[in-house]
Amino acid sequence: MLTPPAADFTADQPFHIKQGWEEDLSEPFPWLRAGFRLYVDGSFDVADGLQVTEGSGVLSVYRVHNFDSGLTAGEHTFLGQWTLPCQHAWDNGYTGTDCGSRWWQRARPVVVFSVTYTITFN
């Protein structure tokens, strides 16, 4: 989602969106608690799968969103949101939001970055 996609896609043709990260297992940063939300035309899209691999001390985690039938002709808007637990986002300067004092307030996900693309399907 960070790399701008082509402005035009063929309608009704399969495609996928893959989002993820790699984590150096020797580092303390808890990427496994990071989240990603994808919205298509305002509707939340649940990832179809999770790909996890580990090698040479690096853990790779990817969420895959499959669109097996593609999308109909016209413009479609994709919104990607990356989240972290509130306390972690606060501690690392990703948010100015006060997380509160209760554990469930500190653990709740907050959006730390988002990107929107409008794509035309022909």
Kindly write down the DSSP assignment for every residue of 45-100, as one continuous string. Answer: E--SEEEEEEETTEEEEEEEEEETT---SEEEEEEEEEEEEHHHHHHTTS------
Q: Among 80, 111, 74, which Cα is nearest to 17's?
A: 80
pLDDT at 2: 64
Q: Is the dihedral of CA 26, 29, 31, 32 positive or negative?
A: positive
What predicted TM-score, i.e. pTM, was given to this entire model?
Answer: 0.81
**36: three-class secondary structure by DSSP:** strand
pLDDT at 32: 60
Question: Dihedrals φ, ψ of 25, to 5°?
Answer: -65, -10
List the chain pLDDT tens, one digit each, 122 residues: 567 787 789 999 999 998 888 877 777 665 567 888 999 999 999 999 888 888 888 888 888 999 999 999 999 999 999 988 888 888 888 877 788 888 888 888 899 999 999 999 99
